[in-house]
Homo-oligomer: A and B are copies of this chain.
Amino acid sequence: MAQIVDDRKSATIERRAKLFRGFADPSRLAILGALCNEPLAVHEIVERTELSQPNVSNHLRCLLDCGLVASDREGRFIRYRISNPRITVLLNDVDALLDVVAVGVEACDNYREA
């Protein structure tokens, strides 16, 4: 019984961690940031983020699998968009938290700076 509770708890934690990892990458954040303004085709994302095309495609696949973005084919373009407004909410929350902890976060050298 306690075991079941533990399993359920840790399963929740693992899911949270995995979702956070989805956001914990500059490239994916750049893509999501670009898509927050408007839906975009892949080559447009490539232009705006200055990431390589395969790189963008890889991350889009990840974001798509995770359900964070959705895609619609339009002729030979594929237009990607944010799948759920909660994502924007989350990004805003992070910015709000950053207003408070930005200094500390930048100072933390337990993981990489850039």
Contacts and interface: CB of A to CB of B under 8 A. Distances in A.
B66 A104 contact: yes
B100 A84 contact: yes
Contact of A67 (B20, B91, B101): B101
Interface string A8-26: 0110111111111111111
A89 B92 CA distance: 11
A93 B62 CA distance: 21
Contact of A25 (B10, B17, B87, B95): B17
Given A16-B98, A20-B20, A65-B108, 8 more contacts: A13-B30, A13-B33, A16-B94, A19-B97, A22-B108, A24-B24, A67-B103, A84-B101
